[in-house]
Amino acid sequence: MPTIIVYLREGRTEDQKREFVRSVTEACRQIFGSPPDSVNIVIQDVPATNLGKAGRLRSEGSAS
């Protein structure tokens, strides 16, 4: 039973998340032989104020 945890910068639409879940589930089926109902995916939306890169918060810009 694969469990996939994904951290994404918030702002993705529900349609984008739906397509992501569908695509990853299909990939698990094809690659691992996992039945779709055994694939668990957790999407954690993270605000830019909680992400940092190159010594700066993503919310400060320039650190893409």
Range of the structural domain that residue 14 is part of: 3-48
Answer yes or no: 36 catalytic. no
Q: Which residue has the higher pLDDT, 53 or 62?
A: 53
For residue 63, pLDDT over 60 is answered with no
The answer to whether residue 22 is domain-embedded is yes
Q: State the total domains in the chain.
A: 1
The answer to whether residue 34 is domain-embedded is yes
DSSP class of residue 10 equals S
Coil/strand/helix, residue 58: helix
Cα torsion 8, 12, 13, 18 to 10°: value is: -40
Tokens representing 36 are 């779709």
pTM of the model: 0.81
| 1-58 pLDDT tens trace | 899 999 999 999 999 999 999 999 999 999 999 999 999 999 999 998 999 988 998 8
For residue 64, pLDDT over 60 is answered with no
**Residue among 2, 35, 36, 47 flagged as catalytic:** 2
CATH number at residue 15: 3.30.429.10
